Amino acid sequence: MKISDNVRMVPVPEDQPIRPTSTNIYIIGRRGGQTLTIDSGEAIDKFRWMLRGYLAAIDHSEIGVAAITHHHFDHSGNLKHVNEHLKAEVAVPENGVRLLRGRLPKEGVKTYSDGDEINLDGGIRVQVMTSPGHSVDSLCYYIEEEGILFTGDTILGNTTSVVGDVNSYMASLRRLLELPNVKVLCPGHGPLITDTEDAKARDRLEMYVAHRQMREDQILEQLQDGEPKTSWQIMESIYGDSIDKRLRRAADGNVQAHLKSLQKSGVVRASRGEKKRPNPATVAKNKAKEQANRKIIQQGKRLDKVQRNKILAQQENPPTDQWKKPPTYQLR
């Protein structure tokens, strides 16, 4: 999908509510040349084939640098793959390296931090900005000349995001609001947010700020009666049946993030709580079961590969499995 002469979007369809509509991969640079990608999806076939197919059939480009917006696996899972199979250099947030353990190639890794610039052919200049809040290592990328801002999960296309640290998140949103010339928001999930006759892309940023303030007000209202409540109880009262049940944990996480912020500011106090002590025997049993399941999954993948290779080999060789003596043909 073309966003501008220098920017394309590869939306990979999703059916999980935590990743609304699609997970998006962005390609920046002139067609037919070396490009920069932002995010590369989860380490499963549908992302790999979608990206490789788009590059080969439509974009006719090679990836020079594969960057990510943050360490979450649905954005960074394919870093080894693009390095090994597409020969791309990998670029990650400087403070995200420790969070990407096991997902980075041994060589060809560089890091980005706030204020860095990525200069591409044709005078394309991509600014790197830290935007913590959704995650500690979140980055945004900005092409000021075109007014295109790549937001990862800091801003989503058709819903609000999961927040890890409210204070950092609000500071990041306000920083993005100060950017000049923002015309297009390119989110990690969901559709693009663009300037129209009725609304501006900047309006979405302002809506996010207002939404977080609304959630804080709702949480404080739930605590007005003086009764101690868990974050889950507060979440159920605020959200009710308005969200998909599969999003309840995420909603509870947002409530907890607000409560931590309110606790830091002295508005809310929290009891210590008491964590369950895991039974060592149960932990060992579950770990063994998980390892066994993992082995079964790996064996299934190997068998699937063997079966695929067998089918391919059948296409290349005569059907000796069907004929003891195949028919022959000659002119009458």
- Beta-carbon contacts of 128 under 8 Å, excluding residues fewer than 6 positions away, are 112, 113, 114, 115, 116, 117, 118, 139, 140, 141
Q: Given CA atoms 238, 203, 175, 188 in this order, what sign does their dihedral have?
A: positive
Separation between Cα atoms, residue 332 and residue 298, nearest integer Å? 56
Separation between Cα atoms, residue 169 and residue 155, nearest integer Å? 10
- Beta-carbon contacts of 61 under 8 Å, excluding residues fewer than 6 positions away, are 27, 29, 31, 32, 33, 34, 35, 55
Q: What is the pLDDT of residue 56?
A: 83
Residue type at 317 in one-letter notation = N
Separation between Cα atoms, residue 261 and residue 166, nearest integer Å? 6
Q: What is the pLDDT of residue 199?
A: 86
Measured N-to-C along each axis, helices 248-264 and 166-177 cross at an angle, to the nearest 10 degrees, of: 90
Q: pTM for the full model?
A: 0.88
Indicate the burial class of 222 (C-beta count within 10 angstroms; 0-12, 13-18, 19 or more).
middle
Q: What is the pLDDT of residue 30?
A: 87
Which H, E and C letters describe the chain, residue by residue? CEEECCEEEEEEECCCCCCCCEEEEEEECCCCCEEEEECCCCCCHHHHHHHHHHHHHHHCCEEEEEECCCCCHHHHCCHHHHHHHCCCEEEEEHHHHHHHCCCCCCCCEEEECCCCEEEECCCEEEEEEECCCCCCCCEEEEECCCCEEEEECCCCCCCCCCCCCHHHHHHHHHHHHCCCCCCEEEECECCCEECCCCCCHHHHHHHHHHHHHHHHHHHHHHCCCCCCCCHHHHHHHHHCCCCCHHHHHHHHHHHHHHHHHHHHCCCCCCCCCCCCCCCHHHHHHHHHHHHHHHHHHHHHHHHHHHHHHHHHHHHHCCCCCCCCCCCCCCCC
Residuewise pLDDT in 10s, the chain (332 residues): 899 999 999 999 999 899 999 999 999 998 877 899 999 999 999 999 999 888 888 888 889 999 999 999 999 999 999 999 999 999 999 999 999 999 999 999 999 999 999 999 889 999 999 999 999 999 999 999 999 999 999 999 999 999 999 999 999 999 999 999 999 999 999 999 998 888 899 999 999 999 999 999 999 999 999 999 999 999 999 999 999 999 999 999 999 999 999 999 999 999 989 999 999 999 999 999 999 999 999 999 999 999 999 988 888 888 888 999 999 999 99
Which H, E and C letters describe 251-306, residue by residue? HHHHHHHHHHHHHHCCCCCCCCCCCCCCCHHHHHHHHHHHHHHHHHHHHHHHHHHH
65 bridge partner residues:
36, 89
